[in-house]
Amino acid sequence: MTRIRQDWTRRLALLAFAGALVGSGDIVGRDRPAAAQSQTGDPLAPGQGTLPIEIESEGGIEWRRNEKLYIARGNATAKRSDFTVIADTLSARYREKAGGGSEIWQIEADGNVRLISSGRTVTGGHAVYNLDTRVLRVTGANVGVDTGEEKLTADQSLEYQEGPQIAIARGNATVIQEDREVRADVMTGHFQRLTGGKLDLIRLEADGGVKVKTPDTSASSTKGDYNLTTDIMTLSGNVKVTNGGNQFNGEFAEVNVKTGVSRLLGSASGSGKVKSLIVPSSEPSQ
């Protein structure tokens, strides 16, 4: 096994639907002198930018000077503090800087990708983080996030955009928490950064084929929007709610998650008809 310990000067990857962060920078190995390194802070992980990364790979680390590329092959692992990236292959693309030295501009992980941090595990077949656009995209088989309390899976991709601080799961995106389940063609999570750099999910949007299931109620709609600050969830577009054998149909529904009060309306403005089918022998679940 090849083991190299060094400092990286910029971000290696960022997986933030679950809020996982890691820093990155130039690799210094047998073929690259340590004097070529530069050090910069990591603005998303205050005080962490100069911590060392430990790289392990069973197939060694290769430097392709003409291609400006570093490659670690064979069960490659990168660790810094409590963040670990594991993949069959890890690659770093760099470029020369105008003032001298070099900088990483893209990181790629291929094959059995796992990103682990603070009790969260992100999985996929391929991951790419572009440091210029600050976008991380995970694709391939078994795309998902497991926090121990919630599981998010997607058939197509999981993407985090650092600028607007949003995460997007595409393709039968599913969130499972204990006995609750939410599905949609696309889910978008909106975050805000707290003091100390931690990301906090404040809003979740669901678009296309929205389905919500709890032990006693199921609902479907075209769109869904959950504001975690106000604890208000709305469903819009061909809303259907089934509870205890009873069926309620409308175009707009509003649920106060905190109080448990729900309203089904003909539209967001309150106009329009609402239809229901209540089975005499059943009562709505409490």
Is 223 among the domain residues?
no
Is 267 among the domain residues?
no
Q: What is the pLDDT of residue 29?
A: 29
Exposure b/e, 96-110, CB count within 10 A at least 16 = b? eeeeeebbbbbbbbb
Is 80 among the domain residues?
yes
Q: What is the pLDDT of residue 30?
A: 27
Is 140 among the domain residues?
yes
Amino acid identity for residue 68 in this structure: K
Q: What is the pLDDT of residue 283?
A: 53
Is 248 among the domain residues?
no
pLDDT digits (tens, 9 = 90+) for 131-162: 888 888 999 988 988 878 778 899 999 998 88
Query: Is the pLDDT at 33 greater than 90, yes or no?
Result: no
* Phi, psi dihedral angles at 266 (to 5 degrees): -75, -20
Q: Map residue 65 onto helix, strand or coil.
A: coil
Is 109 among the domain residues?
yes
Q: How far is residue 256's CA from residue 240's CA, in Å, rounded to a whole number?
A: 17
Is 44 within 8 Å of 110 (Cβ atoms)?
no
Q: What is the pLDDT of residue 147?
A: 79
Q: What is the pLDDT of residue 97?
A: 85
Residue 52, domain extent: 2-213
What confidence category does residue 243 fall into, taking pLDDT thresholds of 50, 70 and 90? confident
Number of C-beta neighbours around residue 132 at 10 A: 7
Is 37 among the domain residues?
yes
Lowest mean pLDDT among 13-17, 39-43, 107-111, 196-200: 13-17
Please compute the mean of the pLDDT values over residues 260-271 and round it to a whole number. Answer: 74
Q: Cα angle at 212 between 209 and 215, to 5 degrees?
A: 150
Query: Is the pLDDT at 123 greater than 80, yes or no?
Result: yes
Is 75 among the domain residues?
yes
Domain count within the chain = 1
Amino acid identity for residue 86 in this structure: I
Q: Map residue 63 onto helix, strand or coil.
A: strand
